[in-house]
């Protein structure tokens, strides 16, 4: 999984970048093939914003989270993406199973 991290008004240490990459790379287990991810960390006054966009084979998933800390914002955004991916997979799986079921 290729992860691109950009920042706006925030200083990200190499340790923080490694943690962000590790959290975002967990999404690769849920998605087919090798998705690409883009993380934008932004600072505004007393809040930190994280925008995470993942482009997979079938579609793009995006989320945005706000918190007092960059890592907390990234964690919340990744959790939202996991919910989106699981919901999409369940929707496709149920549609596929209902199409295969014979009509009696």
**Count of other CB atoms within 10 angstroms of residue 19:** 16
Residue 83 CA to residue 28 CA, distance in Å, equals: 14
Residues 6+ apart with CB under 8 A from 104: none
- 8-19 pLDDT tens trace: 999 999 999 999
Domains of the chain in start order, with CATH, are 2-100 (3.30.160.100)
pTM: 0.84
Residue 88 CA to residue 90 CA, distance in Å, equals: 5
Q: Quick one: pLDDT band at residue 56, thresholds 50, 70, 90?
A: confident
Residue written as token pair 């993380």: 39
Q: Are 50 and 82 in contact (CB under 8 A)?
A: no
């Amino acid at each position: 999984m290729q992860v691109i991290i950009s920042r706006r008004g925030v200083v990200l240490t190499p340790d923080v970048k490694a943690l962000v990459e590790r959290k975002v790379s967990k999404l690769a287990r849920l998605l087919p093939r090798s998705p690409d991810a883009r993380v934008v960390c932004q600072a505004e006054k007393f809040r930190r914003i994280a925008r995470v966009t993942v482009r997979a084979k079938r579609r793009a998933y995006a989320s945005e989270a706000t918190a007092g800390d960059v890592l907390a914002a990234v964690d919340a955004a990744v959790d939202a993406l996991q919910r989106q991916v699981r919901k999409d997979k369940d929707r496709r799986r149920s549609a596929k199973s209902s199409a295969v079921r014979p009509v009696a």
